[in-house]
């Protein structure tokens, strides 16, 4: 009886072993191929998504830098030529030309250079008084007397300032501050004379005077071009070498000056509309007739290899095809700014 039972169990055990057999070599190879295809597909999706993210991030940065660049310039352009509450007031510059605070207001409220900067870019200089001004609270004792204001917290010794009463204006260098009293002594590297053009009465205002130059120069990273601004430069200083870096990735800047050719030689009797746009130094351009500026900046992405191929671009009327290794993203931003104040 026991022998018969063992003989009947054997077929059942063989059937169990048959059901437990593994995959064949062909099945294993098919599984590996499918897994490899899935991995490759996922890797491609990741690479494409990463490239798209870098491209979108670079484009957003380019657009942001372009808008900020024009906004920085626009702010100074809006106040260019402001010399107190009356634009036609007689202006006397009493600061010595040897002073670090000297501002050549006689050169006009706006000047520039053409194609002499980094990447043959232009530069642009604005001159004006800034801020709301400190109120003069008492009459001056004489043309050489101190000037008492309501607050001198925004002023500093050695800076150039304008005092104006809507009839006249004097530029002078502050040589000392005692409380709220401003001194303007003469001396080498300061004022030509201790005397102003007139003794100003209470109600006049004292403004900080400023000369700001915008240019394109090397950034903190020399490989990156940048928009720079130099405010009230000392003798020998240059915008590209000494200016503050505002934005990196600004590769070029071109300026056209809108001239109201209907105006007289002193800028009067015009309709305030530009009849032509020319570069600085163009034949016949009269600074006193400049009523607007047209600014174009070429902005480049900070990182390279954002495009698969070099991307041609058109700037200042010229189409440029970058070299084979230049895969930066570029965009041109242009704006026209009307100057609010009289030239001269």
**Could you report the per-residue pLDDT of 274-322, keeping only the tens digit for each?**
999 999 999 999 988 999 999 999 999 999 988 889 999 999 999 999 9
Residue 74, domain member (yes or no): yes
Give 11's pLDDT tier (boundaries 50, 70, 90).
low
pLDDT at 21: 66
Range of the domain at 283: 54-338
Residue 37, domain member (yes or no): no
Which residues, 6+ apart, have CB-to-CB distance to 93 below 8 Å? 103, 104, 105, 106, 171
Residue 21, domain member (yes or no): no
Whole-structure pTM value: 0.84
Higher pLDDT among residues 7 and 159, named by residue: 159
- pLDDT higher than threshold 90 for residue 22: no
Please tell me the distance from the alpha carbon of residue 21 to that of residue 166, in angstroms, as a whole number.
104
Residue 26, domain member (yes or no): no
pLDDT of 171-221, one tens digit each? 999 999 999 999 999 987 899 999 999 999 999 999 999 999 999 999 999
Please tell me the distance from the alpha carbon of residue 14 to that of residue 10, in angstroms, as a whole number.
6
Residue 27, domain member (yes or no): no
Residue 198, domain member (yes or no): yes
Given a contact cutoff of 8 angstroms between Cβ atoms, the answer to whether 93 and 103 are in contact is yes
Given a contact cutoff of 8 angstroms between Cβ atoms, the answer to whether 275 and 249 are in contact is no
pLDDT at 42: 87
Residue 34, domain member (yes or no): no
The total number of structural domains in the chain stands at: 1
- pLDDT higher than threshold 80 for residue 344: no
* Ramachandran quadrant class, 203 (left: phi over 0; alpha: psi -120 to 50; beta: rest): left
Residue 10, domain member (yes or no): no
């Amino acid at each position: 009886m026991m022998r018969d039972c063992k003989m009947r169990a054997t077929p059942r055990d063989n059937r169990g072993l048959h059901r437990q057999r593994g995959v064949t070599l062909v099945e294993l190879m098919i599984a590996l191929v499918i897994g490899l295809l899935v991995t490759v597909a996922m890797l491609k999706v990741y690479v494409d998504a990463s490239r798209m993210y870098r491209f979108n991030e670079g484009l957003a940065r380019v657009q942001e830098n372009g808008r900020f660049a024009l906004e920085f310039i626009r702010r100074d352009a809006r106040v260019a030529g402001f010399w107190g509450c009356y634009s036609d007031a007689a202006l006397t510059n009493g600061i010595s030309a040897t002073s670090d605070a000297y501002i050549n207001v006689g050169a006009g409220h706006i000047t520039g250079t053409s194609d002499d900067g980094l990447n043959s870019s232009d530069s642009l200089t604005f001159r004006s008084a800034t801020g709301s001004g400190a109120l003069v609270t008492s009459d001056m004792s004489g043309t050489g007397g101190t000037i008492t204001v309501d607050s001198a917290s925004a002023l500093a010794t050695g800076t150039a300032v304008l005092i104006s009463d809507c009839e006249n204006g004097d530029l002078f260098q502050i040589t000392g501050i005692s409380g709220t009293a401003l001194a303007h002594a003469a001396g080498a590297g300061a004022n030509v004379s201790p005397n102003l053009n007139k003794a100003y009465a209470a109600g006049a205002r004292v403004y900080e005077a400023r000369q700001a130059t915008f240019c394109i120069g090397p950034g903190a990273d020399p490989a990156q071009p940048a928009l720079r601004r130099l405010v009230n430069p000392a003798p020998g200083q240059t915008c590209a070498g000494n200016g503050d870096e505002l934005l990196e990735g600004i590769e070029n800047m071109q300026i056209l000056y809108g001239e109201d050719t209907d105006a007289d030689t002193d800028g009067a009797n015009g309709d305030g509309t530009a009849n032509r746009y020319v570069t600085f130094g163009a034949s016949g351009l009269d600074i006193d007739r400049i009523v607007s500026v047209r600014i174009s900046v070429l902005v480049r992405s900070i990182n390279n290899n954002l495009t698969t191929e070099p991307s041609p671009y058109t700037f200042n009327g010229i189409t440029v095809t970058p070299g084979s290794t230049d895969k930066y993203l570029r965009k041109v931003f242009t704006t026209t700014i009307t100057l609010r104040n009289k030239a001269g």
